[in-house]
Chains A and B, each alone.
Chain A
């Protein structure tokens, strides 16, 4: 199941790219694009999301997957929630 290691890579990429933005914020949704020719089962990535994100800053977030043509496998964007009480 390479989807498990790809999901772990996805969490790593989010943590690295948003390292400076995560403080005081909650990751709500992670948007991923998966091509139909990518050789990846989107459902399997969604299935293991909760387990892979547990004990990371992404715990409790949702994984939204957009199916696309071609063979891409890319992190598109991340939605972050900023608590107003924390302002």
Chain B
């Protein structure tokens, strides 16, 4: 028994007498299985020219709204894997917006892992050349740790959440390939300092692009579509933003 609270933490193992203890060296990363499966997912997406984004944020930052507008405006096939603890609300919204979606309910789980995404992909069967978005469980902590086979991680934060979040949740922002700051239409009503938010994000992820936009008004959405097209090209995907092509031509 532990002397402090009697919890049993320091209990000795009485059964050790009368036996021999052998130490077996194992040396295996705990996430090895997840990461192997994520690599398999990424390779199978690469074969079909599909680019995958892992979209993460706290609940209510506007991930699903961003996708609804993207599906409506982006001239590309978009497929979505939705992660939530319960309900199919988000997958219903994505389907209503005109895209294919599979809902994953994690129950008590706080994040999506490679196994869930792998299994969901069998059901979703995204078209070659499409954009696949994995909308993770709303949570600024756990999803950062799990590779789900994406090509890039996008963290969405809304202006009402405050400019101190990157240093408060450094693992999430350190993993970000893009930080989207949503709801800029509300900036006149809140105290968020965009420069401070950007500086904090770059303190944990040097050089990361911080992209302010408003899904509601459309401000900044053009840059979002440019980023998607550039990311698609960078990873050999065939996702094109037809509007950007038109402007260049």
Chain B count of residues within 8 A CB distance of the other chain? 31
B25 close to A77 (CB less than 8 A): yes
Complex CA–CA separation, A60 to B30 (angstroms): 21
Q: Within the complex, what minimum Cβ distance (angstroms) separates A25 from chain B? A: 8
Complex CA–CA separation, A82 to B21 (angstroms): 6
In the complex, the chain B residue whose C-beta lies closest to that of A10 is B30
Which listed residue, B15, B23, B24, B110, touches A26 by the CB 8 Å rule?
Answer: B15
Chain A count of residues within 8 A CB distance of the other chain? 35
Q: Within the complex, what minimum Cβ distance (angstroms) separates A57 from chain B? A: 13
A74 close to B27 (CB less than 8 A): yes
Which residues of chain B (167-224) have a CB below 8 Å from chain A? Answer: 171
Complex CA–CA separation, A21 to B26 (angstroms): 12
B30 close to A78 (CB less than 8 A): no
Complex CA–CA separation, A82 to B26 (angstroms): 18
A interface residues (Cβ-Cβ under 8 A, vs B): 1-2, 4-6, 9-10, 12-14, 17-18, 21, 25-26, 28, 32, 38-40, 62, 72-85
B interface residues (Cβ-Cβ under 8 A, vs A): 13, 15-16, 18-34, 108-111, 113, 141-142, 144-146, 171
